[in-house]
Structure 1
Amino acid sequence: MSARAAGRRHVVAVLVRDGVLPMELGLVHQLLGTARSPSGDVLYDVRTCAPSPGRIRTDADFPIYAEHGLDVVAAADTVLVIASHESDEGLAPGGLDAALASALRQVRGRVASICTGSFVLAAAGLLDGRRATTHWMSADLFARTFPAVTVDADVLYVDEGEVLTSAGEAAGIDLCLHLIRSDHGAAVAAEVARRTVVPPHREGGQAQYIQRPVPEPQLTSTSAARSWALPRLSEQLTLADLAAVESMSVRTFSRRFREETGLTPMQWLTQRRVDRARELLESTDHTIDRVATEAGFGTGASLRQHFALGVGVSPGAYRATFRGLGAGSGLGPGAGPGTGVGPGTGPGTHSATART
């Protein structure tokens, strides 16, 4: 039974270990801890846990105190494992502390990791046969150490249903917003993002972290084209239209767009249209055909196809789950872990846009 069905808050256990990165711990509490329903109800009970409760060293010059232990981890609705560079990269299959591995395997909800916390999940055997990501600097080591896991180093996060992994520290923000969006809809996630002053959907690719020569001054970015396109999603925009905004050839624009976002221009446009369709399904009574028109898909059939690929459910099922969130009329029934509601990991979904 989900936390909401049981009439209680969703318990999130944030697992910390010696050498924990304070930024990762803080962002989980900031994002999930401040999530509210339209009526102002607190949605998550976030608890900091450790294998042995008490004083925990960080990678900074101050410690933290973890009040809770592995009993809370095993009973949580969601467990988030955050990185400890002191030990993560040294883990091997089956090399995790037995008590910690047992607690993670007992979790009946979902388990997620930020940065190299994915090494912990892999060492516990939770990622075998699954797709996963980790910090790009550790991706090769991860792939060699855990050959049973399919490593995707070009994404912000990977959602495998019961198990999720994210890339570097800042990608934890994207993961937390994804969890909120999956549980409570786009409107609640957007409000958390606004309060925290971060974008609900972040762009940017791993290409930003590849060493390359500094661009010549005359080279321009493609951000103006993206800004121009967002209020025009309902129009039939072409690649040539976008390139013209930046006064570039289509070939040059396409290359630079992919360097900056990790996506082709049309993949990016499809993602933004799916985002717009989400908002309309949550906040309006528009027919599916009208949502398709206003989001730029043209027909209901096209919307259904792209929505199923990007979100994992039909527009009708999404509306039935999250109807009224955007209008502030109270929470509809939640999806919860394992329902498939929320961005999927198929082609063109924002969960696979880029790396942090």
Structure 2
Amino acid sequence: MHGPQPSRRVLSIQSHVVYGYVGNKASTFPLQLLGFDVDPINTVQFSNHTGYPAFTGQRIDGDQLESLFDGLEKNGMLNDYSNVITGYIGRKNTLEVTQRFIEKLKRKHPSVQYVLDPVMGDEGRLYVSEELIPIYKQMCRLADIVTPNSFEAEILSDVKVDCTTSAIEACRKINDMGARIVIITSAQLGDQDNPSETLHLVAYLRLEDQARAKAFLISFPKLQGYFTGTGDMFASLLLAHIHMAQSRHQGSLQTARWLEEACELAVATMNQVLMETSKLSAEASTGSSGEPVDGPGTTLLIRRRELRLIQSKKHIEAPHVLFKARDLEL
């Protein structure tokens, strides 16, 4: 007879949209398919993501967020969480309340694994106020796992990420802030093959004895087109697969193979979801003659590039690993 299964419950503090898949909408379904209960707190409630020509909705403020945390605590619900993830927050006072909450939660429940997805910007452009940057740097000391894109890694580390060496240095600096695992989710590295056509995940891990570190890289093709919600989904896939890999490899965490497995599975799902999205959006965007039925940047085209999560159910539940981890020298 099997004993009780360890808890798999995630408190997910991210944005929300009515239409489409970003933030909690991009994270909840994959986590649930992988066996996690998910309790979302929506930091914004928008009609759609901000890449559309128009959007409406509201942002939660610090007092409102604190009230939600207070309700969870009074009912003893904070005892149930195995994981917490934070994504887009956007407001300074809301981020400060979140930071205080994570500090309190980690103090009372040190086993809770905190994934910090520092959603600040992409491709050289900030889409939050600069006053949030020092708070995110402070939050790195609370995080077990930090999942920036390359631009966010540059902001946190003050290192320009343009080659493998600089990517490792950025990870090391973020690790020195306190995070045990740092994963740059997508970087273009000039010293790797086909730099314009390939993206790379770069992971850095402080091993159990704290005296040694390990780094590895996973390369995967850069797909044409602009997709939203990819970082939110990817961070949640990493949370799930790292949690499950740690459970499978309990007792052998002195190597990084469990983390490599988790990242390979997350990359596999992400690539397959984007392939599915690209295929279906291409089919929907051409008429019977094969000619485009709408121009680039139109609302219709943006809608057709929303992540095809439901259609990708099998890729989330059983990803096919094509891209393997390669060790990096430290």
TM-score where L is the length of structure 1? 0.31
Q: Which has the larger radius of gyration?
A: 1
More strand by share: 2
TM-score where L is the length of structure 2? 0.33
